[in-house]
Amino acid sequence: MLDRTQTKTKEIEGSLKELVELYNEDINALKEEIKNLEIRKAAFLDVKKAIDISLIPDPITLNVGGMKFQTSKSTLTKIPGSYFDAMLSGQIDIQSVSGKPNNTFFIDRDGTHFRYILNFLRDGDTPIPDSVKPEVSKEMKFYKLVPPTQSDLITHDQFKIINGWLGGELSYELIYKGTKDGFESATFHNKCNGKGATLTVVKSSDGNVFGGYNSQSWNSNGAYYGDNKCFIYTMVNKNNIQPTKYAPIANNTNVVYGHNGYGPTFGGGHDLYISNQCNANQQSYQNFPNCYADTTGKAKATFATTYNFTVSEIEVFTVL
Count other Cβ atoms within 10 Å, centred on residue 305: 15
* Residue 50: pLDDT band with limits 50, 70, 90: very low
**Element at 223 (helix H, strand E):** strand 223-225
- CA–CA distances in Å: residue 177 to residues 26, 149, 246, 272, 275: 73, 14, 24, 18, 15
Q: Helix, strand, or coil here: 172?
A: strand
Does the structure show a pLDDT above 60 at 234?
Answer: yes
Task: Please provide the average confidence, as pLDDT, over all residues in the chain.
Answer: 87
- CA–CA distances in Å: residue 215 to residues 223, 290, 291, 318: 16, 19, 16, 10
pLDDT of residue 101: 54
Residue 57 phi, psi dihedral angles, 5° rounding? -85, 155
Rounded to whole angstroms, the Cα distance separating 273 from 259 reads 11
Q: Name which of 17-31, 174-188, 201-215, 297-311 the model is least confident about.
A: 17-31
The average pLDDT across 75-86 equals 86
Distance of CA 248 to the CA centre of its chain: 27
> b/e string for 226-249 if b means 16 or more Cβ within 10 A?
beeebbbbbbebeeebebbbbbbb
Overall pTM surpassing 0.75 (yes/no): no
**Element at 234 (helix H, strand E):** strand 231-236
Q: Where are the alpha helices (DSSP H) in the chain?
A: 2-54, 73-76, 83-88, 114-123, 133-142, 156-166, 178-181, 185-192
306 CB-near residues (< 8 Å, 6+ apart)? 206
The average pLDDT across 95-121 equals 82
pLDDT of residue 81: 80
Rounded to whole angstroms, the Cα distance separating 215 from 282 reads 27
Residue 49 phi, psi dihedral angles, 5° rounding? -65, -45
- CA–CA distances in Å: residue 47 to residues 29, 50, 51, 91: 27, 5, 6, 12
Domains in the chain (CATH in brackets) are 60-142 (3.30.710.10), 156-319 (no CATH)
For 61, counting Cβ atoms within 10 Å of its Cβ (0-12 exposed, 13-18 middle, 19+ buried), the class is middle
Share of the chain above pLDDT 70, in %: 87
Rounded to whole angstroms, the Cα distance separating 318 from 205 reads 24
Q: Name which of 12-21, 156-165, 204-213 the model is least confident about.
A: 12-21
pLDDT tens per residue, range 262-310: 999 999 999 999 999 999 999 999 999 999 999 999 999 999 999 999 9
Asked, as a colleague might, if the bond just before 57 is cis with ω within 30 of 0, I would say no
List, in sequence order, every residue forming a beta bridge with 104; answer none if it has no partner: 61
- CA–CA distances in Å: residue 253 to residues 178, 198, 228, 293, 295: 28, 18, 8, 13, 19
Does the structure show a pLDDT above 90 at 47?
Answer: no
pLDDT of residue 126: 74
Q: Is the dihedral of CA 102, 106, 130, 264 positive or negative?
A: negative
Rounded to whole angstroms, the Cα distance separating 98 from 66 reads 14
Does the structure show a pLDDT above 70 at 146?
Answer: no
